[in-house]
Amino acid sequence: MSVVNWLQNQHPSPRQRSQLLSLLSRALRQTGQMPSEARGMVHSQHLHHLCLMALNDFPNHFCEAVSLLLELMEQQSLDPAAWTQLTRAAMVAAVTGDCTLATPAPKEARFGLGGGKVDDWKIMMREFVVKQQLFGIRNVTNANA
C-alpha cells in the first residue's frame, strides 16, 4: 500500500501521521547530508513521503514536517535538497490543488514565476515564518522569565 492510499483510504489519526513523520525524520537522519549512491533511491522516497505527509490535510502536519527538517538541519544531518523538494511540492500543491503530488508541476510552479496561487503560497510561507519567529521569541522570553 502506498502512502497516498494509506492517507486517503485508512484515514490515519493525527498521532499515526506524526509517528510516520518521526520515522521519516529518523531515516533522513541516518542518510545524512550526502546520501550514498546505494541509499539515494530510498532517500528520495523518504523525502517524497515527508512531502506527502506535510501537505496532507494541510496545514495540520506542515509545521511538524518543517520543524523536523529544522531539527535535522541543526544537527547537520539533512540533505539540503530536502528544502527544495518540500518547497517545490508545496508550490505545486498550491497551484494544482493536488496534495498527492501526482499532478505534474505547471510551468509557473517549476520556475517560481508569480501569478495567483504561487503568490498566495509565498505570502502564506512568509506569514508562517514570521509566526514561527514570534513563537520562538516567546519561548525564549518565557524560559528566561
The pLDDT, as a whole number, for residue 112 is 47
The pLDDT, as a whole number, for residue 59 is 74
Show me where the domains of the chain are located. 3-144
The pLDDT, as a whole number, for residue 114 is 47
Inform me whether the pLDDT recorded for 116 exceeds 70. Answer: no
For residues 76 and 96, which has the higher predicted lDDT (pLDDT)?
Answer: 76
DSSP the chain: --HHHIIIII---HHHHHHHHHHHHHHHHHH-SS--TTTHHHHHHHHHHHHHHHHTTTTTTHHHHHHHHHHHHHTT---THHHHHHHHHHHHHHHH--TTS-SPPPHHHHHT--STHHHHHHHHHHHHHHHHHHHHHHHHHHHH-
Q: What is the mean pLDDT of the chain?
A: 76
For residues 1 and 37, which has the higher predicted lDDT (pLDDT)?
Answer: 37
